[in-house]
């Protein structure tokens, strides 16, 4: 009797501890968001005061208005969406096909091909900026949607292939064999058999591509110069002078940029975590 | 399988071929085909009515305030006066990114027609070496009231490669009421500074708000203190051109004084983590009695983000004199920060040059920046005084007008690209008491030596 109460008590207290721990983690994760939204409603002069959070008095909705009018959020948002959609689509299709070639086909250059793709994982973005600028300049791709789309895809393919291969190695070949016996072509196998069964991986690769493209800035400032092709992060620097900055409007822009990301995370959180371990365990 | 592979390689070969064609076509037709239509129209119609389009590259993305506003106002006016001219603006900030992109533009010969430029050898030299910049003659600006020394930092081998836009100088902004409430007067000697720090110690008021996160304001402070200690700016100028040395008793004494300021809480707790906006807001919110910054912050007195009580009680004063009277307040740390250059390699560089010269007619740049309370031009602006200037604007005019000695470039601007950061880091370290004044003096002398060797190979 005594022993059982003490274990129950122990279980309960460890539960409380767990709950407390999780509550702290949750608070730490959510606080920056609250902080960001709070700051987006303050006057620039209110920043860096003694209080961490400050009640906006009055609410500076003008920051959001500025974000749209002066920060061109709507125009740059459209550009970000265009770039992201193309990057995601191409990355998914190309990586799927490439990883099928590497994981399923037997030919002598296979090892080298997969080696080449993996080597690309370690190329730092910074080392490519200047050479890419020269190449794009030569072929008139500078200041163009393609000057963002192409390098973004290039940097995403190795990681995506890595994820796809991991998944493909765990799927049985029996279905494909059956499909080939039934007369399905190679392209057919890839798009009618493999693509549907790797939906969770496609989702995660898509999310990964989206996050990368959405937050990408260093390539954008190097390759883009006209307003027509600027992406969302440019809205942020729209509010910096040489010295002072309009912090309120910057936080409003940050809130607007972060919003799609937060929504996306909420919708796909299972997929994101699942896919990163997809293929890790056979089953 | 084999068939598919050969198809694949066929496609690859085709792709290579097509892109190669693209290249050769490109180099054959026109090196900068973006300007192809322009050059065509330029050759068909001489003078007045040809359509010109050129690019203006600025480090002020905010076009609604500050210097960005001044630039935009002038660009808009020029376009409405010259309907055949179209100027597109590209902006990029912060400055390191701007400088990186400038480098990329320079190495690929795509420098924008008019570009913001800093007037120091380390910024100008790579562009001059690449023949990227148009030269100006002093006569281009005759009668526009330019301060004579203003062109010095844009001049290399006797040729002018840029137009200076601002007179920058270091001052102390002070909140008169906050000082008076604590029984204090604005400081006139450095001893007063320590008195103020002592009086405010227990009051939760920062004596001087200082942006310590960016190391450059610390270097300005260092210059100011050295100038008072040694009675002028000779010391660091000579240390830079190696006729003198930073390893000097006055430098050591200055470093000691600065370390004492830090330990006595002159800049508040944790100022090394306070960034530009933080320091500015600390002062603007009335939580600091003074603020060390350049004249360009004069707009703080009209910034509606701050309480009226603070704005109405702002004054600007020079960095206080030394206690022994050797360093006077009329020795002003003043330099000509930034300006504009014109690309020599574009189709429309002639028209761009015309615009740049027009921009710096005194009724344009000088008048616009003065009337809008944006900054001090590198030109005489007396005739544009309206009588509606703010208190701070008048204080600053007084400081500039009373100055008998100008420093020219501040010390950090004289270092080479690769050594500038080590110099600033050394100052930050010294202020964080991570090095002794003696070691500090030796260290920056070594850096100055390295810089000199790099700049004069």
ipTM entry: 0.75
Residues B209 and B354 in one domain: no
A47: nearest Cα among A272, A263, A246, A279: A246
Residues B308 and B375 in one domain: no
Which residue is listed with tokens 């902006």?
A: B91
Residues in B 74-93 with any Cβ partner in A closer than 8 A? 88, 90-93
Would you state the pLDDT for residue B242? Answer: 95
B97 CB neighbours in chain A (<8 A) are 221
CA–CA dist A166, A159 (Å, integer):
11
Residues B233 and B275 in one domain: yes
Looking at B345, B362, B389, which one is the last position of a domain?
B389
CB nearest to A48's CB, from B93, B95, B282:
B282
> What is this structure's pTM?
0.79
- Domain boundaries, position B295: 169-333+407-455
Residues B328 and B347 in one domain: no
Q: Is the dihedral of CA B222, B224, B227, B232 positive or negative?
A: positive
Q: Is residue B399, in this structure, part of any structural domain at all?
A: no
Residues B316 and B371 in one domain: no
Instruction: Read off the pLDDT of residues A166-180 as tens digits, 9 standing for 90 and up.
Output: 889 888 888 888 998
Q: Is residue B218, in this structure, part of any structural domain at all?
A: yes
Here the tokens at position A42 are: 């303050």
**Domain count for chain B:** 2
Residues B177 and B284 in one domain: yes
Side-chain half-sphere CA neighbours of B82 within 13 A = 21
Q: Is residue B42, in this structure, part of any structural domain at all?
A: no
Taking residues A199-219, report their average pLDDT.
89
8 A C-beta contact, residue A152 and residue A219: yes
A243 CB neighbours in chain B (<8 A) are 66, 276, 296-297
CA–CA dist B305, B297 (Å, integer):
14
Question: Domains of chain A, with CATH numbers?
Answer: 72-238 (1.10.3720.10)
Residues B233 and B132 in one domain: no
8 A C-beta contact, residue B425 and residue B435: no
CA–CA dist B220, B211 (Å, integer):
11
CB nearest to A242's CB, from B23, B60, B304:
B60
- CB of B273 less than 8 A from some CB of A: no
Cβ contacts of B179 within 8 Å, gap of 6 or more: B185, B186, B196, B289
Residues B261 and B310 in one domain: yes
A78 CA: distance to closest CA in chain B (Å) = 19
Which residue is listed with tokens 């309370």?
A: B373
Residues B430 and B308 in one domain: yes
B41 CA: distance to closest CA in chain A (Å) = 22
8 A C-beta contact, residue A163 and residue A275: yes
Q: Count CB neighbours of A232 within 10 A.
A: 28
Would you state the pLDDT for residue B49? Answer: 67
Q: Is residue B21, in this structure, part of any structural domain at all?
A: no
Q: A10 falls in which pLDDT band (50, 70, 90)? A: confident
Residues B329 and B342 in one domain: no
CA–CA dist A73, A68 (Å, integer):
5
Q: Is residue B402, in this structure, part of any structural domain at all?
A: no
* Nearest-Cα residue of chain A relative to residue B278: A48
Please count the residue pairs, one from chain A and one from chain B, whose beta carbons lie less than 8 angstroms apart. Answer: 104
CATH number of domain containing B378:
3.40.190.10
The beta strand positions in B77-152, using DSSP E, are: 85-91, 114-117
Better pLDDT: A239 or A92: A92
B26 CB neighbours in chain A (<8 A) are 138-140
Q: Is residue B43, in this structure, part of any structural domain at all?
A: no
Do the chains contact at A45 and B305, CB–CB below 8 Å? yes
CA–CA dist A185, B27 (Å, integer):
44
B177 CA: distance to closest CA in chain A (Å) = 19
- CB of B22 less than 8 A from some CB of A: yes
CA–CA dist B111, A121 (Å, integer):
33
Q: Is residue B328, in this structure, part of any structural domain at all?
A: yes
Residues in B 281-310 with any Cβ partner in A closer than 8 A? 281-282, 284-285, 287, 296-297, 299, 303-306
Would you state the pLDDT for residue B17? Answer: 44
B375 CB neighbours in chain A (<8 A) are none
Would you state the pLDDT for residue A7? Answer: 67
Would you state the pLDDT for residue B40? Answer: 39
CB nearest to A238's CB, from B62, B88, B280:
B62
Cβ contacts of A48 within 8 Å, gap of 6 or more: B274, B277, B278, B281, B282
Side-chain half-sphere CA neighbours of A17 within 13 A = 6
CB nearest to A45's CB, from B66, B101, B285:
B285
Mutation pick from A110, A147, A241, A251 vs chain B, by most beta carbons of B within 10 Å, is A241
Per-residue confidence in pLDDT tens, chain B, 457 aa: 445 545 545 554 444 444 444 443 333 333 343 343 444 344 444 445 689 999 999 998 888 878 889 999 999 999 999 999 999 999 887 788 898 899 999 988 889 999 999 988 888 988 999 999 999 999 999 999 998 888 988 999 899 999 999 999 999 999 999 999 999 999 999 999 999 999 998 888 999 999 999 899 999 999 999 999 999 999 999 999 999 999 999 999 999 999 999 999 999 988 999 888 889 989 998 999 999 999 988 888 888 888 899 999 999 999 999 999 999 999 999 998 789 999 999 999 999 999 999 999 999 999 999 988 888 999 998 899 888 889 999 999 999 989 999 898 899 989 988 899 999 999 999 999 999 999 999 999 999 999 999 988 8
Here the tokens at position B244 are: 């003198």
Here the tokens at position A174 are: 């029996």
- CB of B31 less than 8 A from some CB of A: no
Would you state the pLDDT for residue B258? Answer: 97
CA–CA dist B257, B197 (Å, integer):
14
* Nearest-Cα residue of chain A relative to residue B89: A226
B367: nearest Cα among B379, B353, B349: B379
Residues B282 and B431 in one domain: yes
A107 CB neighbours in chain B (<8 A) are 1, 5
B364: nearest Cα among B352, B349, B379: B379
Would you state the pLDDT for residue B93? Answer: 79
Would you state the pLDDT for residue B1? Answer: 46
Q: Is residue B23, in this structure, part of any structural domain at all?
A: no
Write out the DSSP string of chain A.
Answer: -HHHHHHHHHHHHHHHHHHHHHHHHHHHHHHHHHHHHHHTTS-GGGTTSS-SS---SS--THHHHHHHHTS-HHHHHHHHHHHHHHHHHHHHHHHHHHHHHHHH---TTHHHHHHHHHHHTT--THHHHHHHHHHHHHTT-SSSHHHHHHHHHHHHHHHHHHHHHHHHTTS-SHHHHHHHHTT--HHHIIIIIIHHHTHHHHHHHHHHHHHHHHH--HHHHHH--SGGG--THHHHHTTB-SS-B-HHHHHHHHHHHHHHHHHHHHHHHHHHHHHHHTTTS--
CB nearest to B277's CB, from A47, A70, A130:
A47
A194 CA: distance to closest CA in chain B (Å) = 18
Residues in B 364-383 with any Cβ partner in A closer than 8 A? none
Residues B289 and B437 in one domain: yes
A47 CB neighbours in chain B (<8 A) are 277-278, 281
Do the chains contact at B305 and A46, CB–CB below 8 Å? yes
Do the chains contact at B95 and A245, CB–CB below 8 Å? no
């Amino acid at each position: 009797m005594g022993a059982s109460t003490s274990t129950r008590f122990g279980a309960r207290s460890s539960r409380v501890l767990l709950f407390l721990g999780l509550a702290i983690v949750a608070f730490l994760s959510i606080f920056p968001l609250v902080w960001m939204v709070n700051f987006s409603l303050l006057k620039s002069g209110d920043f860096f005061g003694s209080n961490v959070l400050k009640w906006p008095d009055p609410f500076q909705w003008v920051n959001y208005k500025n974000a749209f009018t002066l920060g061109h959020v709507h125009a740059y948002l459209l550009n970000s969406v265009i770039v992201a959609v193309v990057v995601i689509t191409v990355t998914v299709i190309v990586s799927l096909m490439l990883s099928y070639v590497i994981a399923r086909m037997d030919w002598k250059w296979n090892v080298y091909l997969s080696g080449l793709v993996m080597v690309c994982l370690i190329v730092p973005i910074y080392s490519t900026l200047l050479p890419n600028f020269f190449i794009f300049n030569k072929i008139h791709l500078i200041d163009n949607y393609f000057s963002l789309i192409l390098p973004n895809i290039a940097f995403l393919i190795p990681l995506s292939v890595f994820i796809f291969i991991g998944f493909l190695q765990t799927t049985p070949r029996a279905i494909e064999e059956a499909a080939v016996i039934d007369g399905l072509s190679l392209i057919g196998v890839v798009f009618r058999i493999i693509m549907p069964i790797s939906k969770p991986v496609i989702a995660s690769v898509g999310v990964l591509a989206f996050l990368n493209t959405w937050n990408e800035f260093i390539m954008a400032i190097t390759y883009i110069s006209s307003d027509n092709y600027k992406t969302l992060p440019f809205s942020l620097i729209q509010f910096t002078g040489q010295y002072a900055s309009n912090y309120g409007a910057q936080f409003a822009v940050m809130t607007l940029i972060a919003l799609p990301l937060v929504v996306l995370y909420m919708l796909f959180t299972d997929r994101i975590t699942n896919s990163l371990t997809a293929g890790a365990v056979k089953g | 399988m084999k068939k598919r592979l050969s198809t694949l390689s066929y496609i690859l070969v085709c792709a290579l071929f097509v892109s190669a064609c693209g290249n050769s076509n490109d180099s054959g037709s026109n090196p900068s085909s973006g300007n192809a239509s322009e050059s065509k129209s330029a050759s068909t119609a001489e003078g007045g009515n040809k359509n010109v389009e050129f690019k203006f590259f600025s480090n002020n993305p905010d076009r609604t305030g500050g210097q960005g506003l001044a630039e935009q106002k002038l660009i808009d006016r020029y376009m409405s006066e010259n309907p055949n001219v179209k100027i597109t603006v590209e902006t990029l900030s912060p400055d390191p990114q701007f400088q990186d992109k400038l480098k990329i533009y320079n190495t690929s010969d795509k420098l924008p027609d008019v570009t913001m430029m800093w007037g120091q050898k380390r910024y100008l030299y790579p562009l001059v070496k690449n023949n990227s910049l148009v030269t100006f003659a002093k006569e281009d600006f005759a009668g526009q009231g330019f301060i004579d020394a203003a062109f010095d930092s844009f001049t290399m081998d006797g040729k002018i490669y840029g137009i200076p836009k601002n007179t920058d100088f270091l001052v102390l902004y002070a909140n008169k009421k906050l000082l008076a409430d604590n029984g204090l007067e604005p400081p006139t000697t450095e001893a007063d500074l320590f008195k103020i720090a002592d009086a405010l110690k227990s009051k939760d008021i920062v004596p001087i708000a200082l942006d310590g996160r960016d190391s450059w304001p610390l270097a300005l402070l260092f210059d100011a203190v050295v100038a008072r200690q040694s009675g002028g700016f000779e010391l660091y100028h000579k240390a830079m051109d190696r006729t003198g040395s930073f390893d000097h008793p006055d430098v050591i004494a200055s470093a000691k004084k600065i370390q004492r300021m830090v330990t006595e809480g002159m800049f508040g707790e944790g100022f090394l983590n306070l960034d530009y906006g933080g320091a500015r807001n600390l002062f603007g919110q009335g939580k600091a009695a003074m603020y060390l910054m350049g004249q360009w912050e004069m707009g703080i007195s009209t910034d509606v983000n701050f309480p009226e009580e603070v704005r109405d009680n702002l004054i600007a004063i020079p960095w206080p004199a030394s206690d022994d009277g050797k360093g006077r307040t009329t020795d002003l740390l003043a330099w000509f920060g930034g300006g504009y250059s014109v690309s020599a390699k574009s189709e429309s560089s002639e028209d761009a040059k015309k615009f740049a010269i027009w921009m710096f007619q005194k009724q344009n740049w000088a008048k616009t920046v003065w009337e809008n309370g944006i900054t001090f031009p590198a030109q005489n602006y007396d005739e544009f005084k309206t009588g509606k200037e703010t208190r701070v604007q008048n204080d600053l005019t007084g400081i500039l007008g009373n100055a008998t000695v100008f420093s020219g470039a501040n010390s950090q601007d004289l270092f080479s690209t690769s050594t500038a950061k080590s110099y600033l880091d050394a100052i930050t370290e010294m202020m964080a008491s991570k090095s002794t004044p003696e070691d500090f003096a030796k260290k920056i002398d070594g850096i100055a030596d390295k810089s000199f060797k790099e700049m004069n190979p």
